[in-house]
Amino acid sequence: MKKLKLLYEGKAKKVYQTEMAQRLIVEYKDDATAFNGLKKGTIVGKGIINNKMSNRLMQRLEDAGIPTHFVTELNDRETVVQRVSIVPLEVIVRNIAAGSFSMRYGVEEGTVFEQPTIEFSYKNDSLGDPLLNMDHAKALKLATDAEIATIRTMALRINEILKSFWAECGVTLVDFKLEFGRLSDGTIILADEISPDTCRLWDAKTGDKLDKDRFRRDLGGVEDAYAEIMRRLVSHDEK
Ligand code: TMP
């Protein structure tokens, strides 16, 4: 499969049209941004890690019955995915308070929830991805009731699968962001990526952050953290 026209360039990925109408090629970049693009940088090798990690995790989810956009990995940075129209919702699942949840509600980072918490934002960069509730989502016609119900069920199931997978790697899955898309027949599938850019992953023993918070918060050791989390995944799969 070949990259034809560049359809879209986001902060961390480029998306290309291919010779097949229902297939796209995603190319992962090393560019990193935070705070809606206010902070910019490069995480050397990130594109390769995010591509490979996202693909492995999506294959794992597929095996567990979750439909995803993943088709085939072409090379270090490029993957063929199913073409979808993205549902403009950022779906955030949290197991432990951190980041914007801790800030907004004054809850200490690290507070473990009794059950997972789902939160939705309106995927809209010019508005800064504002938090919204399901009435807002319906008023804005972002998704139907049935789609929202499907997305919630899938997000919770994905959390269960990923939480136990990362636990086997000695990693605590604190929270993560998902995006879903619609196929041409309306079927909802998981899209975008699952990577250290989009998840909070803490070493289960030391609590060390092995994700993009090292970049967001200037903690140092960013590349090492990405390499370490990838190493955990690869060594799990080799066992
Ligand atoms: P938050 O605590 O900053 O709202 O982030 C929650 C999770 O979502 C965290 O794992 C990082 C991820 N995330 C993204 O993938 N993209 C974003 O633009 C933001 C703000 C968070």
**How confident is the prediction for the chain on average, in pLDDT?**
97
Distance from the Cα of residue 62 to its chain's centroid: 15
Residues with CB under 6 A from ligand 1: 92, 98-101, 175-177, 198-200
C-alpha 146 to ligand 1 mean position (Å): 25
- What pLDDT band is residue 224 in, cutting at 50, 70 and 90? very high
pLDDT of residue 20: 97
Read off the pLDDT band of 72 (50, 70, 90): very high
177 CA distance to ligand 1 middle (Å): 6
Average pLDDT over residues 201-219: 98
Residue 115 region by backbone torsions, left for phi larger than 0, else alpha for psi between -120 and 50, else beta: beta
Q: Which of 198, 210, 211 to mutate to test the pocket of ligand 1 (most atoms within 8 A of CB)?
A: 198
Distance CA 1, CA 22 (A): 12
DSSP letters of 56-68? HHHHHHHHTT--B
pLDDT at 239 (0 to 100): 80
Q: Which residues pair with 92 in a beta bridge?
A: 119, 177
Q: How do beta strands 171-182 and 131-132 pair?
A: unpaired
Q: At what angle do helices 222-238 and 46-63 cross, to 10 degrees?
A: 30
Give the integer Cα–Cα distance in Å for 104 and 23: 39
Nearest CA to ligand 1 atom 15: 198
Tokens read off for 179: 């995006």
Tell me the best of 92, 195, 197, 214 to mutate to test the pocket of ligand 1, counting ligand atoms within 8 Å of each CB and taking the most.
Answer: 92
pLDDT in tens, 128-147: 999 999 999 999 999 999 99
Q: Ligand 1 centre and the CA of 191: distance in Å?
A: 16
For 184-207, how does the pLDDT look when each residue is reduced to its tens digit (9 = 90+)?
999 999 999 999 999 999 999 999
Cβ contacts of residue 68 below 8 Å, gap of 6+? 58, 61, 62, 189, 190, 191
Q: Which two tokens stand for residue 104?
A: 């907004």
**Over pLDDT 90: what percentage of the chain?**
98
82-131: per-residue pLDDT in tens? 999 999 999 999 999 999 999 999 999 999 999 999 999 999 999 999 99
Mean pLDDT, rounded, for 39-63: 98
